[in-house]
């Protein structure tokens, strides 16, 4: 049984979300805003911090001039350490913390997880030649240097929860969660600040998710072009395809300008290894983006009144239905076929009101031979891994480590194709 504190906070969380939903209902008479909002003024936000004071640097980018769509990049300090000679990032051992408490996690579905100590072939020092790390500790970018000195990390696109109407990529809780994921998964996290309802109803948030994925692919192309230009002739600064050490600090891998090629991603991201991560309604966005990615290459049925209220605010009024393709991934005839979906890890809480439908979705994936285990966490409630007061709970910490194991299983072993 959950502790008294967990029960109380679960009730408080549902009350708070219901209050926010009702507030939005009262403002639906206002005209919709095509530009949209990605956070609410009443929510606490964490400012971006481009230093590695806690091991992760962050920056915010507004990526769409026509809407409020934005992202927050989380770059772990481990990205600043060059790979050891002859090391292969795709064959790194899977991490596992000895602090994990098996009592707080129950893996009832799918293959058992490997239990082993965390290990890594890369260190955490930031004293790397060629880095543009100023005296104030702020990370400005990356100097070209030798190509082999740049460590490329997988990318994880993260979609926050909040019942479509609240939350944000820069909220205090989401910022803390993404920092944790960046560290334990050893990835560059790109948190998506999608447009919120009811200012922007379906399919705005879904379209924003796809737009960010396409933007990431464009960044990969720009980075490749940047490397080609850096490796070519460059007005006396380039000798034999490599920059002189005395001049390298003057240049940033951004040949197209800061408005086009994002230097952190250009230097440290490997978009060919990409994972989608969603919390609560963010998982619906992740599912939609994955489906669109699958289609480009050739849901969870709510069970509570509060969920219904959230869907009413998100879906167009004339299309409201709990069997809308956006709300229920198991609607018959919804494409593409489930057998084409990528490997999918489903995380559920023992006391999550969406637990049964989440498990049902995973079961349908496994029926068509998609690797889709379910991890269920005891004494946990909906969004337990991303709620501010539960971020330090054993379940939340173990969840992040389990996500790391799952992500590294594929981003370490898959080829250069675009994984999801």
Contact in structure between 208 and 69 (CB atoms under 8 Å): yes
Q: How far apart are CA 313 and CA 29, in angstroms?
A: 12
Coil, helix or strand at residue 57:
strand
Tokens of 74: 């989380």
Whether 175 sits among the annotated catalytic residues: the reply is no
Residue in 169, 186, 382, 419 annotated catalytic = 382
SS3 letters for 103-153?
Answer: HHCECCCCCCCCCCCCCCCCCCCCCCCCEEECCCCEEEEECCCCHHHCCCE
What DSSP designation does 45 have? B
Query: What DSSP element (H or E) covers 265?
Result: helix 263-268
Residue in 10, 280, 362, 393 annotated catalytic = 280
What DSSP designation does 43 have? S
Tokens of 338: 């489930």
Contact in structure between 209 and 285 (CB atoms under 8 Å): yes
Residue in 92, 352, 379, 402 annotated catalytic = 352
Whether 351 sits among the annotated catalytic residues: the reply is no
DSSP bridge pairs for 58: 74
Whether 249 sits among the annotated catalytic residues: the reply is no
Q: How far apart are CA 418 and CA 279, in angstroms?
A: 22
Name the residues annotated as catalytic. Answer: 280, 352, 382
């Amino acid at each position: 049984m959950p502790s008294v504190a967990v029960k109380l906070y679960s009730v408080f969380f549902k009350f708070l979300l219901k209050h926010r939903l009702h507030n939005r209902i009262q403002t639906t008479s206002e005209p919709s805003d095509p530009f949209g909002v990605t956070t609410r003024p009443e929510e606490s936000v964490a400012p971006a911090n481009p230093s590695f004071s806690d091991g992760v640097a962050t920056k915010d980018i507004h990526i769409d001039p026509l809407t409020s769509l934005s992202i927050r990049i989380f770059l772990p300090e481990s990205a600043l350490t060059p790979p050891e000679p002859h090391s292969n990032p795709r064959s790194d051992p899977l991490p596992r913390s000895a602090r994990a408490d098996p009592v707080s996690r129950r893996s009832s579905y799918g293959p058992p997880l490997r239990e082993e100590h965390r290990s890594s072939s890369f260190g955490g020092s930031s004293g790397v030649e060629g880095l543009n790390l100023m005296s104030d500790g702020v990370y400005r970018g990356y100097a070209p240097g030798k190509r082999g000195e740049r460590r490329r990390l997988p990318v994880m696109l993260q979609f926050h929860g909040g019942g479509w109407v609240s939350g944000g990529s820069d909220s205090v809780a989401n910022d803390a969660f993404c920092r944790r994921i960046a560290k334990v998964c050893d990835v560059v996290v790109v948190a998506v600040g999608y447009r919120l309802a009811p200012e922007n109803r379906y399919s705005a948030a879904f379209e924003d998710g796809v737009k960010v994925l396409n933007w990431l692919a464009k960044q990969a192309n720009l980075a490749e072009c940047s490397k080609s230009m850096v490796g070519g002739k460059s007005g006396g600064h380039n000798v034999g395809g490599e920059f002189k050490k005395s001049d390298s600090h003057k240049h940033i891998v951004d040949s197209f300008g800061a408005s086009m090629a994002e230097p952190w991603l250009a230097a440290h991201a490997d978009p060919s290894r990409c994972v989608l991560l969603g919390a609560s309604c963010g998982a619906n966005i992740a599912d939609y983006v994955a489906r669109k990615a699958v289609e480009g290459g050739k849901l969870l049925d709510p069970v509570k009144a509060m969920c219904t209220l959230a869907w009413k605010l998100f879906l167009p009024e004339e299309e409201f239905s709990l069997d809308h393709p956006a709300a229920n991934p198991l609607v018959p005839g919804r494409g593409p076929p489930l057998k084409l979906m990528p490997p999918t890890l489903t995380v559920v809480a023992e006391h999550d009101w969406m637990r049964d439908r989440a498990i049902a979705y995973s079961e349908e994936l496994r029926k068509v031979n998609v690797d889709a285990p379910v991890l269920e966490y005891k004494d946990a409630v909906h969004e337990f891994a991303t709620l501010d007061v539960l971020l330090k709970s054993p379940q939340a910490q173990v969840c992040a480590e389990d996500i790391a194991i799952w992500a590294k299983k594929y981003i370490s072993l898959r080829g250069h194709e675009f994984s999801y």
